[in-house]
Amino acid sequence: SWTNLRNSELKERAARVIPGGMYGHESTALLPSDFPQFFQRAEGSRLWDVDGNEYIDFMCAYGPNLLGYRDPEVEAAVQAQMERGDTLTGPSDVMVTLAEQLVGMLSHAEWAMFCKNGTDATSMATVVARAHTGKRKILVGRGVYHGAAPWCTPGPAGILSEDRGHIVYYRDQDPQSLADAVKAHAGDIAAVFATPFRHETFRDQSEPDPTFAREARRLCDIEGAVLVLDEVRAAFRLSRDGAWAAFGVRPDLTSIGKVIGNGQPISALVGAENMRNAASSIFVTGSFWFSAVPMAAAVATLKIIRESDYLERLERMGQLLREGLAAQAVAHGFGLRQTGPVTMPQIFFADDPEMRLGYFWTAAAVRRGVYLHPYHNMFMNAALSEADIAQVLQATDEAFDLLKAQDRTQLPLEHPPVRGRLERAALLSA
Ligand code: PMP
């Protein structure tokens, strides 16, 4: 049966020695209070919190877990490289192999540079683009997440307006808005940033849109600006190639993060031939950017991406989950908005402006061993089986039953800060 005593104890200890008790995207401050903050282990599709509660996990460490936690082939590569050494005076030979493989897999990429986090890769993209063009402006979708550096962090505290003095915002995924922004800053544009589809918190997702992709490419070509596709979140969950490759659209630079080491710390910036000189000219580095273990993990992960049916399994399980939930929602009389690609589900209740239904339902699922998220898109992983999805749907059915039995007007607004976030999200989408 469910307990969270150890989690509560740890949260109290953390509050004394970690600012705010926790920070960043893995803070549970905005989540229903039942959501555990601390975990002890994971295996395949499963995750255990510090109280020993077991979950089928749809967050996948906010993306990195693509093949299942502790995938045996990736683990073997990690162990073997650990025996030889990790962070050395120079990179190991595995770095060259990894770059060759990534370049071989991504049809628009001719070179690769490796770093640790998605923010490293997106920030490096701004530097390469400015080095290439000699121009200043970076166009980004309003409210779109590209990381937590001063030029892009969503939190304003400690950030100067000068830090964003040359950041220009357009309406995400809107070709006309992008065209207007390009026109307004013509002659001074270094880069246009885009994501493969809309995947922001607290918002419905979009599908990848060929019209927007082609227009972004066309505008960049006319202007001589660098097109940067930020695939930190979506890489290899839409395609084994770049997300816009199917549309015939080749970005100049692509930032990739999260999944390439199946959880090991590594990200990458890859680019087209025309970006090679600029990429060679900049100075970027980090003490751990050349560590061999994450690169060995990435070589093993990319091999599975190339050779297995992981993507088709993600799609099949995602489809099963979406159809199952849709049927349950109808049976219980709720409207459910399930948006974006099935491999990266985002789920909201209709007529739930303050998210009281969504918070209650996801918390009920968590107490039944299914880790769903009320406001962030989720991630499928290749270890999920049909039996897992059946177990998930059993739990969500009970959660719908429980929600239906509630008096809607009495459901708590569990976390008042959510209201502020919602208002901000509404402003951003306006
Ligand atoms: N870009 C996108 C699209 C992301 O989703 C994220 C992370 N959620 C980042 C950049 C930043 O990545 P990281 O947290 O690894 O720095």
Query: Which pLDDT score, from 0 to 100, does residue 308 have?
Result: 98
Q: Is the CB of 119 under 6 A from ligand 1?
A: yes
pLDDT tens digits, one per residue of 38-88: 999 999 999 999 999 999 999 999 999 999 999 999 999 999 999 999 999
Q: Average pLDDT, stretch 231-236?
A: 98
Structure tokens at 370: 């299914």
Query: Which pLDDT score, from 0 to 100, does residue 155 have?
Result: 86
Structure tokens at 420: 């502020």
Nearest CA to ligand 1 atom 5: 233
Which residue of 116, 120, 228, 258 sits with most ligand 1 atoms within 8 Å of its CB, as the best mutation to test the pocket? Answer: 258
Which among 355, 337, 354 is positioned nearest to 346, based on CA atoms?
337
Q: Is the CB of 141 under 6 A from ligand 1?
A: no
Structure tokens at 239: 């395609």
Nearest CA to ligand 1 atom 10: 146
DSSP for 114-137, please give it. Answer: EESSHHHHHHHHHHHHHHHH---E
Q: Tokens 């459901």 identify what position?
A: 411
Cα of 328 vs centre of ligand 1, distance in Å, is 32
Least confident of 1-10, 172-181, 416-425: 416-425
Superfamily of domain 5-60+309-429: Aspartate Aminotransferase, domain 1 (3.90.1150.10)
Q: Is the CB of 44 under 6 A from ligand 1?
A: no
Query: Which pLDDT score, from 0 to 100, does residue 422 have?
Result: 66
pLDDT tens digits, one per residue of 322-357: 999 999 999 999 999 999 999 999 999 999 988 999
Q: Is the pLDDT of residue 224 over 50?
A: yes
Q: Is the CB of 117 under 6 A from ligand 1?
A: yes
The share of the chain scoring above pLDDT 70, in percent, equals: 96
Q: Is the CB of 140 under 6 A from ligand 1?
A: no
Tally of CA atoms within 13 A in the half-sphere of 424 that contains its CB: 14
Cα of 256 vs centre of ligand 1, distance in Å, is 9
Q: Tokens 């906010």 identify what position?
A: 62
CA distance 49 to 370: 12
Cα of 405 vs centre of ligand 1, distance in Å, is 38
Nearest CA to ligand 1 atom 8: 233
Q: Is the CB of 232 under 6 A from ligand 1?
A: yes
State the pairing for strand pair 39-43/370-371: unpaired
Q: Is the CB of 254 under 6 A from ligand 1?
A: no
Q: Is the CB of 133 under 6 A from ligand 1?
A: no
- Domain 72-307, CATH class in plain words: alpha beta
Cα of 331 vs centre of ligand 1, distance in Å, is 37
Mean pLDDT of the chain: 95
Per DSSP, 225 falls in state P
Q: How is the chain split into domains, by residue range?
A: 5-60+309-429, 72-307
- 225 band by pLDDT with thresholds 50, 70 and 90: very high
Cα of 147 vs centre of ligand 1, distance in Å, is 5
Atom index in ligand 1 nearest the CA of residue 120 equals 16
Cα of 64 vs centre of ligand 1, distance in Å, is 11
pLDDT tens digits, one per residue of 93-137: 999 999 999 999 999 999 999 999 999 999 999 999 999 999 999
